[in-house]
Structure 1
Amino acid sequence: MEIVVTGRHTQIKQRFRDVVESKMNRVTAIAPDAQRAQIVVTHEGNPSRADSAKRVEITVIAGRTVVRAEASSADEYSALDLALDKLTLRLRRTRDRRKDHRRGYTTMEPVDLGAVEPETAEEEAAAEEPNNSPQAAVASDLGPGESVEVQVGDTPIVIRRKLHIAEPMTIDEALYEMELIGHDFFLFVNKETNRPSVVYHRHGWSYGVFEIDTPENVAKTK
């Protein structure tokens, strides 16, 4: 499995890279078909958030499955452990779903989000340069997998926009994807209505669905 470690606003020490190499055996033990792991370490510069100064994001690509997890802590080593715990739990769920499928149960095919490319030094430098214009985060055209990040003036607010290409899916498939990446919501295009939609956690095992459409399109269906 290819392992890529990059840093945002921080330098990655060789000792941390060695720890990552050794601990990623947990991933290959559960998902032997894993092809690539992208680990991104981000430093939070706000002194008031010292207990979560380091954030570790892990993205694993195994076949057509993309699984993500992230965690924050006072240092990158404990954040790595927390993120790995979440990741291995989601990988086990994926493995169990595959077993159910072989037993004859119906399961959903995860969406291929494409390979996660490490950011270049130029991209990281551009992300650090504030232009005082939040509109810049949504005004420019993006290609698949590309992202743009701007800081709003002198505030700590950062707006990040990224383009994903995905085939329309059912609500059940969207719920499955949401569980894999560990988010409380998931944006998708509903296969049955062709509308931009969002599934989200409510409480317990309860979920909600938002669909978005224009008045003109709604009028056409009446």
Structure 2
Amino acid sequence: MKIVIHARHAELAEDFREIAHEKLMSMERFNVTIDRVEVEILHEQNPRQGKHSHRVILTSHGAGPLMRAEAAEFNDLAAFDEAIKSFELQIRKHHEKSKSHDRETLRNKPLADID
């Protein structure tokens, strides 16, 4: 998975790239095909938007489904944490839908196959 980070009107924390890479790579456990994730960080200059001045937008691209999550908080790491929760929920839902729940049990199998 390729991770592209765009910062617009914002300066990133020193460890933001490492944290973002670590958390997004943990999404591979759901076995959903995602080629690229774009992380866009926007900073609102208006001082009245203090509690929601940092906005993070996550967008996935690839053969799998298009997923998008957005969050606004007081700093870029808090906004990223909120966005990643929503992103993970979407990936988890897609993973659950793609599972095969039609399992063969011993009750459903014919007696000739049980030997």
> Structure 2-normalised TM-score?
0.79
**1:3 aligned to 2:3?**
yes
Query: Aligned residue for 2:12?
Result: 12
Task: In structure 2, list runs of 5 or more residues that go unmatched.
Answer: 103-115
**Matching residue of 2:54:** 54
SS at match of 1:24: helix
Q: Deviations over 1:111-168 (max 9, x none)?
A: xxxxxxxxxxxxxxxxxxxxxxxxxxxxxxxxxxxxxxxxxxxxxxxxxxxxxxxxxx
Deviations along 1:48-103, whole A, 9 cap, x unmatched? 11000100000122414111101010001011110000011011111122226x74
CA distance in 1, matches of 2:6, 2:46: 21
Q: Which residue of 1 aligns with 2:65?
A: 65
- 1:193-219 superposed Cα distances (whole Å, 9 cap, x missing partner): xxxxxxxxxxxxxxxxxxxxxxxxxxx
Pair 31,47 (structure 1): closer, same or farther in 2 beyond 3 Å: farther
Mean alpha-carbon deviation: is it higher for 45-54 or for 28-37?
28-37
User: SS state of the match for residue 55, structure 1?
Assistant: strand
Q: Which has the higher helix share?
A: 2
Structural mapping, 1:39-188, within 5 Å: 39-99=39-99, 103=102
Whole-Å separation in 1 of the counterparts to 2:69 and 2:19: 18
Q: In 1, Cα distance between the equivalents of 2:56 and 2:27?
A: 16
Could you list the per-position Cα deviations for residues 18-48 of structure 1 after superposition, in whole angstroms to 9, with x for gaps in the alignment? 1111111332122452211100000011111
Q: In structure 2, what is the Cα distance between the partners aligned to 1:24 and 1:43?
A: 21
In structure 1, distance between residues paired with 2:30 and 2:80 = 17
What SS does structure 1 have at the residue aligned with 2:67?
Answer: strand
- Total equivalences in the alignment: 102
Alpha-carbon separation, structure 1, partners of 2:44 and 2:32: 33
Give how far 1:10 is off: 1.3
Could you say which structure has the greater relative contact order, defined with CA pairs below 8 angstroms and 6 or more residues apart? 2
Q: Contact (CA 8 Å) 1:6, 1:12: kept in 2 or not? A: no
Secondary structure at 1:6 match in 2? strand
**In angstroms, what is the RMSD of aligned CA positions?**
1.8
Checking the alignment, whether the CA contact within 8 Å between 1:55 and 1:72 is kept in structure 2 is yes
- What amino acid maps onto 2:2 in structure 1? E
Aligned residue number for residue 144 of structure 1: none
After TM superposition, the score normalised by the length of structure 1 is 0.43
Verify the 8 A CA contact 1:30 1:88 in the aligned structure 2: no
What is the CA–CA distance in structure 2 between the aligned matches of 1:31 and 1:62, rounded to whole Å? 13
Cα–Cα, structure 1 residues 88 and 18, in superposed 2: closer, same or farther, change >3 Å? same
Residue pair 2:33, 2:64 contacting (<8 A) in 1 also = no
* Partner amino acid, structure 2, of 1:98: S
